[in-house]
Each structure stands twice: as structure tokens, then as C-alpha cells.
Chain A
Amino acid sequence: MMWLSGGFVFRRGESAYHQLDPRVKLLISILMFATTLLAKAVYEMGLVIAFMLAVATVATVLRRVARTMLLTATFSAFIFIVNILVTKNLETSSLYATRFVAIVVSTSLFFITTSPDELEQVMKTFRLPRDVVFAFVTAVRFIPVMMLDTVQIMDAQKSRGLELDKGNVFRRVRNMIPILIPLVVNSVIRSGELAEAMESRAYGAVPKPTSLVEYRASTRDRLVVLASIAFFVVVAYSFYFVPPLQLP
């Protein structure tokens, strides 16, 4: 859980990359994601990852991305071993293992540089219903609150003698029940209070609510979009049509 929060939770940043329109950042991540699917050799995947790390450096989040990469290594190793056992092919197995890392990095780059408010903006661009967008915003908004809740409940249950990290896997899973039940009950109560507060602030009063901030793509955003697409086309072409180098 912690690696997830570290690798996917937004923290404010001042870099030029952070300043990009959220839709542009989404496009870049989608293009990077697509490139990972097109790469057919490990060295190509290596280039893709190197490029992503370069983007992470520009966005001043290299350290966090690197940590996420390290933490995905376990999964990546697992993928590698399973593939080796099934295909007995070193090349494909390492390709799949590195692809997994690349996919995680491409998505994490989007999420750690895009604030929830910007995510909301992206969702609005896709014309998702207001309720869906709002549910998402609230969910993200309450992640830190729920985490704090969880810690408090864990402490309370531990002080009453619950031994969380004792026993085999099944025992440990069962140990989570006294944590989960209060957490769910808390959340249900909280949602009732939220509903009251929403009603009191005219939620759903008009079909088309206005917005305090306006996101408008700047010239720089447009240029970045053009450059990204052009670069993607070149890379995709070379990955797809140029036969991979034969490693000695």
C-alpha cells in the first residue's frame, strides 16, 4: 500500500512539467504507455525507460519515480520468473519484466505531477457526469483522512491486544477484520455527514455548475502536444518498421 501511495500520490511541484495543462500530461503518459507496447526488444524498452527518467528529471520527481521503480522490481522479478518457466526464452521474459516497470513509470509520472483538481478538469473534458467526477474528487480528497483513521484504529486495536503481525497468511488476513469493520463504519458515518454538508451547500442546484478556476491550454501546451506526437510517430515507426538490432 505504501509504495502505491508514494508512487501515485500527487505532491505539489513547481517544475515546468507540473505547469503543463493536465490534459497534455495525460497525453504524454498515454503516448509513453503506447510506446512500451510497441517496443519489441529489451534495449528498446531500456531506451523508453531512459526517456521516461529524463522526463522525470525535468519534472523534478526523479527520486520518487526511481523509488517506485525499485519497489516494482519484486513484481517485475516475479513476471520474469514465470515467463522463463513458461516460455524458456530469456529475451521475451526480460522484455515483459521491463515492460511492466515501464508501464508503472508512465502512469506514475502522470499521477504524481497532476493535482486532484487537475484530474477533475481532465474528467470534465471527457464529459463525465458531475456526480462521477465529484465522487472521484471526494475519494481522493479523503485518502489522507482514511489513512489517519486506519492508523488510529490499528493503534486502538493493538492497545487492546490485537496482534497484527502474528501467525500465517490466513491468520493475518483474519486479523485485518477488526481494523476493517470500524473503518467501514466510520466511513459510512462520514458519508452521511458529507451528504448533509453537500445539501447545505446547494450541491446539484443547477445542472451546469460553474468553476472558480479556468484551465486553458497555452501556446506552450500546444507546442508540447505537437512535439510529443511527432516524437511518438518517429519512435513508433522505428520500433515497428525497423527490424531490431541483433545483439551479439
Chain B
Amino acid sequence: MANVLEIEKLNFTYVDTWKKVVSDFDLAVPEEEVVVLAGPSGCGKSTLLRAVNGLIPHMYGGQYSGSVTVAGKSVKDTPMRDLAQTVGFLFQNPENQIFMFSVERDIAFGLENLGVPRPEMRKRVDEAISLLGIEHLAQRAPHELSDGQKQRVALAGVLAMRPRLVILDEPTSLLDPRTAAELVELVGRLRKETGATFVIVEHRLDLVTRVADRMVVMDRGAKVLDGTPSQVLFGDEAELYGIAVPAATRLQKLLAKDGAVGTDRLMGPEELAAETGRGKK
């Protein structure tokens, strides 16, 4: 399968600063993969994401070397308007990416900017609305929505542009646990229905590892771990980089020492209990 995202030897330093925020970063993501990107705050995750969606170098200046290619387009040499249709970016705070006064118009915002003709736009807006199941919100104003609803509306606006690659920057940080779980499940479903590739920055690993195929850990601008979520989380290094290994995974690791369970895949609490013969089958 072709790679949707290819990052080669990426280095970046913001203008007027001395610290290299991303250093010698390599990553190749094949189509339809869901990748979790983790790492301590300030490790360069946000900068890396900006470099993928083109905000770097088109909006933020600095020292740039290496290359980022998305769906065959070199990010550096492709204008933002083309990139906007290839890479969708869901920012951390949904509030600041809803511009219009009605949900429906906001979902259309990107398409309006691209000059998509009205009938086609209508079709794609309706499609995005039904993908996210927000038909009942279509006419609402942004201030009439809950945080979880805003997150869905913002995601609909991103998906209406039909991107090949969708980036989610800490999408659950403002959500309560139940809404967060729903959002992560939604990502799993969207991957199947849209065939898009997802890169998610997330700290709540217990949730996001349910849908992720791969996990990349970043530290001080460099890629330090890369593998399936179970490879990364059962390894001994993850905790050294400040990754919050989920409690169930830590338990599984302890149990695995006496051979009670395997470590080929991550198990939830129920499954662990069942495996060790203590839970209800």
C-alpha cells in the first residue's frame, strides 16, 4: 500500500529561536492506518503536526530541512489551499475552529472558500453531517453546543473537505470520559467509512489504543519509539519518556511475568479478569 504520509529527515527551528523543535524525524504512514503520536508536553508534537498540514513552513517561518510528503504532494511546495483538501486538521480547542453562526454553514466553510458549486457543497455537507450523526444540530449556533458537540461539528467541517489524512490534536482533552470514549469510537468507525488515514495526538492511551494500529513516541523533537501499541507499551522504555501507560496494561505486564497472560495484544480490564479465571465469562 502506498504511503499517505512520508516524513524524511525533518528538522525545524522556529524563526528567532535557537532550539531545534523537530530533529531528524522520519515517519512513513501507509493508507488507512491509525497512528497515535505520544510524548511529553513540549516535545514537538504540535510542531510536527503543523509541518504535516503545511502551517509550517507556509505560516510559521524558521529553519526547515528535510521533506514532508502527503499523498504525493510535497508540503513545502504545495500552497495551503491545496493542502487543505488533502490534510484535515482538528485542533485541540473546537471553539476556535468554528467560524460561522450556524453549524451547517460552518461545515461548509472550507468548501465555500474553495469555491465549490452549491449543489456539490450541499451534498458534501449533508454527507459529513450524517457521517457524524449530527443532523439535529445542523441549524444550531455554536454557543448552543456542548464541548463534545462542538468537537463533532469541527470534525464534520474537516471531513467535508474529504481529506486523505486527518490529524487530531488532543481531541479529547476538553471532553468528559464518556464523550471522549465516544469520540475515539467514532474515529474507528470513520476510518472504515471514509478510508482516511488518522494521526492522533493523545494522552488518554487506554481509549485511543482501542482503535490505533500503531504508536509513535516522540521526545525532544525526535522519534524514540515506533511500533504497535502493544510493542510500545509493553516495552520498558515507554514510561521513561513520561508516557502514561494505562493501568490495565501495567497489570497485564505484571501478570505476563508469571505467564498468566500473553503480551501479543493489549487487553482491557474485563478481558484480563476473564483470562486469569476471576471474571465472569
Question: Which residues from chain A sit less than 8 Å from chain B, CB to CB?
Answer: 115-117, 134, 137-138, 140-141, 144-145, 190, 193-206, 208-214
Closest 4 interchain pairs by CB? A205-B81, A197-B97, A202-B84, A201-B110
Nearest to B59 among chain A residues (CB) is: A199
Nearest Cβ in chain B — how far from A14, in angstroms? 12
Interface of B (DSSP majority class): helix
**A141 contacts across to B, CB distance below 8 A:** 98-101, 142
Nearest to B109 among chain A residues (CB) is: A201
Q: How far is the CA of A55 from the CA of B109 in the complex (A)?
A: 34
Is B224 in the interface zone, CB < 8 Å from A?
no
Q: List 25 A-B contacts (CB under 8 A).
A: A115-B101, A116-B101, A137-B100, A137-B101, A141-B98, A141-B100, A141-B101, A145-B143, A197-B97, A199-B84, A200-B53, A200-B91, A202-B84, A205-B81, A205-B114, A206-B81, A206-B115, A208-B115, A209-B112, A209-B113, A209-B114, A210-B112, A212-B112, A213-B104, A214-B118
Q: How far is the CA of A144 from the CA of B53 in the complex (A)?
A: 30
Is B125 in the interface zone, CB < 8 Å from A?
yes
Total interface residues on B, CB under 8 Å, equals: 44
**B87 contacts across to A, CB distance below 8 A:** 200
Is B277 in the interface zone, CB < 8 Å from A?
no
A205 touches B115 (CB 8 A): yes
Q: How far is the CA of A134 from the CA of B105 in the complex (A)?
A: 13
Is B55 in the interface zone, CB < 8 Å from A?
yes
A141-B99, A193-B96, A212-B104 are known contacts. Are A200 and B89 too (CB-CB below 8 A)?
Answer: yes
Nearest Cβ in chain A — how far from B114, in angstroms? 5
Interface of A (DSSP majority class): helix
**B122 contacts across to A, CB distance below 8 A:** 212
Is B180 in the interface zone, CB < 8 Å from A?
no
**B118 contacts across to A, CB distance below 8 A:** 210-212, 214
**B200 contacts across to A, CB distance below 8 A:** none
Q: How far is the CA of A193 from the CA of B97 in the complex (A)?
A: 8
Is B238 in the interface zone, CB < 8 Å from A?
no
**B121 contacts across to A, CB distance below 8 A:** 210, 212
Q: How far is the CA of A199 from the CA of B88 in the complex (A)?
A: 11
Q: How far is the CA of A144 from the CA of B98 in the complex (A)?
A: 13
**A197 contacts across to B, CB distance below 8 A:** 89, 91, 96-97, 99
**A208 contacts across to B, CB distance below 8 A:** 115
A193-B91, A199-B58, A202-B85 are known contacts. Are A140 and B101 too (CB-CB below 8 A)?
Answer: yes
**B125 contacts across to A, CB distance below 8 A:** 212
Is B116 in the interface zone, CB < 8 Å from A?
yes
**B81 contacts across to A, CB distance below 8 A:** 202, 204-206
Is B259 in the interface zone, CB < 8 Å from A?
no
Q: How far is the CA of A200 from the CA of B84 in the complex (A)?
A: 5
Nearest Cβ in chain A — how far from B167, in angstroms? 9
A205 touches B113 (CB 8 A): yes
B143 touches A144 (CB 8 A): yes
